Amino acid sequence: MDLSNLKPAEGSVKKRKRIARGIGSGKGRTATRGLKGQKSRSGYSRRFGFEGGQMPIHRRLPKFGFRNINRVEYKAINIDILERLAEEKSLTVIDIDTLRNAGFIQKSDLVKILANGELTKKIDVKAHAFSKTAVEAIEKAGGSVEKI
């Protein structure tokens, strides 16, 4: 084997369809566009959502809903996750950087601590928001809560 007899694998290379190269090619005359009509003309491009002149579905369906531009989205972290994190890394203080380094949140996330699970360790927690039951659970375990 050398460079002079290399070939691509069987079936891996498809022949290009040579359109509009005369009647003898079998793809001449209308150039595979069919007969008359808008789609047979040059320059035709259908816009997204066009349904042939029929009222498109995005206009047939009613508008609904409302998106509040002032809504604040929090990433929810439960206290059982804090417990597990404190045990694994033997921590007494858990803040945003700790959660980010552990892979629970992204850089721009705001964090809200929720009360799902059990907390037995004394942990000081710093976050953007807390549920009332989470604050109670953390303080009951002997820890403290600080809003950022």
pLDDT at 121: 87
| Four-residue CA torsion sign, 60, 65, 69, 75 | negative
pLDDT band, very low/low/confident/very high, at 116 (cuts 50, 70, 90):
very high
Which CATH code, of 3.30.930.20, 3.40.50.10490, 3.40.640.10, 3.100.10.10, is assigned to 74-147?
3.100.10.10
The overall average pLDDT reported for the chain is 93
> 78 is written with which tokens?
């439960």
Locate all alpha helices (DSSP H) within 11-131, ordered by sequence. 57-60, 79-89, 96-101
Give residue-wise pLDDT tens across range 44-62.
998 999 998 999 999 999 9
User: Is pLDDT of 65 > 80?
Assistant: yes
- What residue ranges do the domains of the chain occupy? 16-65, 74-147
